[in-house]
C-alpha cells in the first residue's frame, strides 16, 4: 500500500489489532454479537483512566478537546462507584479504620436520584450524557431547552 495513510485506514488497522487480540468491548445479550475494540474505544478508555489522575485542563489537552466542557461532560466524574470507593478509602485512612460510621448501602444511581438537581440542568444517564438531547442555553433565561 504505497499511498498516504488515511484516518479510515488507521482506524481499520487498530480495529483489526483489537479483534486479533480479542479485546472485547461489548457483547449483545440478545444476539450474542461481539464488538471488539476500535480506535475510539481505546481513546475513551485512555480518557477515562487519565480522568482519575490529572486535573481537567490537563486532560482536555491530552484528549485534544477544543472545549473544557467536552472533557467535563464525557470524562470527569462519570464513574460514581469508583469515586465513592476512593472517598471511602481516604476516609478509612483518616479515621484509622473506625467502624463506628459505616458505608451507606445505596447504589450510585439511587444516590444520584436522591440528590436535588439545580434548576435548568438535565439529569445524566449511566454513560454521563443527558437523557435527552438538550440544546444550548436560552440566552435570556440561561436554561437548557429541548
Q: What is the pLDDT of residues 20-39, one digit of tens each?
A: 988 888 888 999 998 888 88
Q: What is the pLDDT of residues 47-98, one digit of tens each?
A: 988 988 899 999 999 999 999 999 988 888 777 777 788 888 888 888 886 6
Q: What is the pLDDT of residue 128?
A: 45
Average pLDDT in the chain: 75
Q: What is the pLDDT of residue 78?
A: 75
Q: What is the pLDDT of residue 133?
A: 45
Residue ranges of domains in the chain: 19-96
Q: What is the pLDDT of residue 56?
A: 92
Give the confidence band of 124 by pLDDT, cuts at 50, 70, 90: very low
Residue 114 has pLDDT above 60, yes or no: no
SS (H, E, C) the chain: CCCCCCHHHHHHHHHHHHHHHCCEEEECCCCCCEEECCHHHHHHHHHHHHHCCCCHHHHHHHHCCCCHHHHHHHCCCCCHHHHHHHHHHHHHHHHCCCCCCCCCCCCHHHHHHHCCCCCCCCCECCCCCECCCCECCCCCCCCCEC
Question: pTM above 0.75?
Answer: no
Read off the pLDDT of each residue in 98-127 and give the average, rounded to a whole number: 52
Give the confidence band of 127 by pLDDT, cuts at 50, 70, 90: very low
Q: What is the pLDDT of residue 30?
A: 92
Amino acid at each position: 500500500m504505497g499511498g498516504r495513510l488515511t484516518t479510515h485506514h488507521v482506524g481499520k488497522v487498530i480495529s483489526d489489532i483489537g479483534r486479533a487480540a480479542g479485546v472485547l468491548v461489548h457483547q449483545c445479550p440478545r444476539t450474542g454479537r461481539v464488538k471488539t475494540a476500535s480506535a475510539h474505544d481505546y481513546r475513551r478508555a485512555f480518557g477515562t483512566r487519565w480522568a482519575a489522575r490529572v486535573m481537567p485542563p490537563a486532560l482536555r489537552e491530552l484528549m485534544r478537546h477544543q472545549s473544557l466542557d467536552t472533557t467535563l461532560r464525557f470524562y470527569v466524574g462519570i464513574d460514581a462507584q469508583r469515586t465513592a470507593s476512593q472517598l471511602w478509602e481516604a476516609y478509612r485512612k483518616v479515621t484509622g479504620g473506625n467502624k463506628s460510621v459505616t458505608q451507606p448501602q445505596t447504589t450510585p444511581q439511587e444516590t444520584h436520584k436522591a440528590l436535588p438537581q439545580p434548576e435548568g440542568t438535565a439529569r445524566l444517564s449511566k454513560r454521563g450524557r443527558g437523557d435527552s438531547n438538550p440544546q444550548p442555553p436560552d440566552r435570556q433565561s440561561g436554561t437548557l431547552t429541548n
